[in-house]
Amino acid sequence: MRMLSKVPEGEIKRKLKEMLNDRRYEHSLSVQCMARGLAKIHGADEEKASLAGLVHDCAKWMSPFQSFRAAKRYRINLDFIERKQPGILHATIGGELAFDLFGIDDPEILNAIKSHTIGRSQMSLMDKILYVSDYAEPLREYTGAAKVRKLADGNIDIAMLEAIEQKIRHLLTKRYLIHPRTIAARNEILRKLRFSSNRVM
Ligand SMILES: [Fe+2]
Ligand SMILES: [Fe+2]
């Protein structure tokens, strides 16, 4: 059997349960399940999607102080928005931690973890599957999650656009800073959906 991590899944789950609160742990299992399902529908690697979903929030327990310290350790250069809203850092740090704690070295998985919160330009299918699953897994209570879930079974790009735009609207309401990588991700998907030769919108 193919090994995507040096630590067996049961052991990863045990560690995550220790590190995360109950709600976050249940969310991780739910993202795992949804990501696996979407990978099956859209022809991505199911095992990778499942593992990415399981561990994507492995750095979510960190305080801002711990995040800054970890960023320094991993030589992650912080921009202004990451310094002011350090919550978003758990994605980038999570990609590093997944390697350190669980021995996951697959770039497809690690990149998806790193982009699951603010997105990035040139998102891969795996990135989108994790982003959408994290945003819309069935335990998410906000209105809009169900709509994204429904869209995701059909066209992952349309689901991704809906999720990212819902998130941007939320950030506007709260008057938070919006990361340029989020805008880049949104514009690229919109360009593909609306302005390319095989447009669907
Ligand atoms: Fe997260
Ligand atoms: Fe999450």
Residue 12: the pLDDT is: 98
The pLDDT score that the predictor gives to residue 69 is 98
196: pLDDT strictly greater than 90:
no
Q: Which residues surround ligand 2, an ion (CB under 5 A)?
A: 57, 134
- Where in the sequence is the domain holding 122, given as residue range(s)? 9-142
Instruction: Evaluate if residue 1 carries a pLDDT over 80.
Output: no
Centre of ligand 2 from the C-alpha of residue 157, in Å: 19
How sure is the predictor about 200, in pLDDT bands with cuts at 50, 70 and 90? Answer: confident
- 69 assigned to some structural domain: yes
Which ligand lies nearest to the CA atom of residue 133 in the structure?
2
Confirm whether 153 is domain-assigned: no
- DSSP string covering 164-196: HHHHHHHHHHHT----HHHHHHHHHHHIIIIIS
Number of domains present in the structure of the chain: 1
168 part of a folded domain: no
How many whole angstroms from 80 Cα to the centroid of ligand 1? 20
Rounded to the nearest whole angstrom, what is the distance from the C-alpha of residue 57 to the centroid of ligand 2? 5
| Mean pLDDT on 179-185 | 98
- Tokens (6 digits) for 134: 């994290």
**What is the per-residue pLDDT across 27-55, written as a single tens digit (0 to 9) for each?**
999 999 999 999 999 999 999 999 999 99
Is position 195 within any domain?
Answer: no
Give the Å distance between the CA of 181 and the centre of ligand 1. 16
pLDDT average, residue stretch 10-20: 98
What's the CATH code of the domain at 43? 1.10.3210.10
Indicate if the alpha-carbon torsion angle 86, 146, 46, 54 is positive or negative. positive
Residue 77 lies in a domain: yes
The half-sphere exposure of 100 on its side-chain side, counting CA atoms within 13 A, is 10
Give Cα 83 distance to the centre of its chain.
Answer: 20
Query: Where residue 67 falls among pLDDT bands split at 50, 70, 90?
Result: very high
Residues with CB under 5 A from ligand 1 (ion): 57
Closest by Cα among 67, 58, 62 to 5: 58
Q: Is residue 156 part of a domain?
A: no
Q: pLDDT of 95-134, one tens digit each?
A: 999 999 999 999 999 999 999 999 999 999 999 999 999 9
Report if residue 160 sits inside a domain: no
Is residue 172, in this structure, part of any structural domain at all? no
Alpha carbons 158 and 148: distance in angstroms, whole number:
9
- What's the mean pLDDT in 154-176? 98
pLDDT of residue 29: 98
Distance 151 CA to ligand 2 centre (A): 19
